[in-house]
Amino acid sequence: MAYENILVEKLEGRVGLIRLNRPRALNALSSALVRELMDALRALNADDEVGCIVITGSERVFAAGADIKEMSTATPVEMLAVDLLDWDALRKAKKPVIAAVSGWALGGGCELAMACDMIVASETATFGQPEINLGIIPGAGGTQRLIRAVGKALAMEMILNARNLSAEEAYQFGLVNRVVPAESYLDEALTLAREIAARAPVAVRLAKEAVNKAYEMTLAEGLAYEQRAFFLLFSTEDQREGMQAFMEKRKPEWKGR
Ligand code: CAA
């Protein structure tokens, strides 16, 4: 698939990078852009040379939300056909996905960042769910993921009263992993991605899965799920290698099996 709204690169250190690239519309998430993003995620997820994926925008804007011009005349059935709302390929990605956010992350842009596994923010990042200003509510996970990230009180204020969060506030409330200068936010995200991509791949995959299950299961179910994943890792060469390397005081060499 040839892309018109995103740029995709494979970088050294087993990292796949996707840049949202509709600068004139502030990376508004049109249905075409989201289709391309999901396609690129599927391809990078299936690529053995990629261990971790980074999604970014530009320094000015991560994404200013769903494309309001496209949506303004849509019918419910047309909206149903858009992939945007459930981030299918992102939710199904087995590899960790990091959002590198600078500038505006509003509406669907904030929801996209929150659907990733981690967020590295630049000092200029602004997170918000301003859909109420358009007479609608968040439709791509905002009401559900925001409450889990920042708690009910603040989520209510953001969603009911279009209260934005600065990068620093987002860090304080646990929405983002770290805040770094605008010049280095992408490098920081790529470094984090390379570090994770260099780790034991099967363990990384099962770790991501187990953490995400915490959102969907009761504690008892989640603990049982974690144990199964933990036991499963004792069937891998990497578990033998990791423990052997520790005892021999050397760096492990991961095989990914
Ligand atoms: N959709 C379509 N076009 C958009 C857009 C969007 N979400 N956001 C910005 N643009 C366009 C503007 O229309 C403008 O285009 P023109 O030059 O052709 O008029 C261009 O991008 C630049 O935007 P501004 O002139 O507004 O730039 P600014 O710097 O003055 O303001 C901003 C930046 C505060 C982000 C402002 O653009 C803005 O408020 N955007 C809309 C944010 C929003 O409401 N997002 C929620 C969308 S709904 C949603 O996401 C639903 C969901 O949950 C899935």
How far CA 37 is from CA of 100, 120, 208, in Å, comes to 15, 19, 21
Ligand 1 binding pocket mutation candidate from 68, 131, 145 (most atoms within 8 A of CB): 68
Residue in the structure block whose two tokens are 């891998």: 236
Nearest alpha carbon, ligand 1 atom 38: 64
Q: What is the pLDDT of residue 172?
A: 97
Q: Which atom of ligand 1 is nearest to the CA of 68?
A: 1
Is residue 66 flagged as an active site residue? yes
Nearest alpha carbon, ligand 1 atom 37: 64
Q: Taking the model in full, what pTM does it have? A: 0.97
Q: What is the pLDDT of residue 84?
A: 66
User: pLDDT (tens digit, 0 to 9) for every residue of the chain, 257 residues total?
Assistant: 899 999 999 999 999 999 999 999 999 999 999 999 999 999 999 999 999 999 999 999 999 999 999 999 989 888 887 766 789 999 999 999 999 999 999 999 999 999 999 999 999 999 999 999 999 999 999 999 999 999 999 999 999 999 999 999 999 999 999 999 999 999 999 999 999 999 999 999 999 999 999 999 999 999 999 999 999 999 999 999 999 999 999 999 999 99
pLDDT tens per residue, range 106-129:
999 999 999 999 999 999 999 999
Q: Which residues line ligand 1 (CB under 6 A)?
A: 25-26, 28, 64-69, 84, 104, 106-108, 111, 130-131, 134, 138-140, 142
Q: Which atom of ligand 1 is nearest to the CA of 106?
A: 45
83-87 long-range contacts (CB < 8 A, ≥24 apart) are 83/31, 83/34, 83/35, 83/38, 84/29, 84/31, 84/34, 84/108, 84/140, 85/139, 85/140, 86/140, 86/141, 87/38, 87/111, 87/112, 87/115, 87/140, 87/141
Q: What is the pLDDT of residue 106?
A: 98
Q: What is the pLDDT of residue 83?
A: 63
Task: Locate all alpha helices (DSSP H) within the chain, ordered by sequence.
Answer: 31-45, 68-71, 76-80, 88-92, 108-115, 142-150, 152-161, 167-172, 185-197, 201-213, 219-232, 237-247
Is residue 139 flagged as an active site residue? no
Q: Which atom of ligand 1 is nearest to the CA of 111?
A: 53
Q: Phi/psi zone of residue 19: left (φ > 0), alpha (ψ -120 to 50 degrees), beta?
A: beta
* Measured distance CA(99)–CA(115) in Å, rounded: 9
Distance of CA 16 from the midpoint of ligand 1 (Å): 27
Is residue 111 flagged as an active site residue? yes
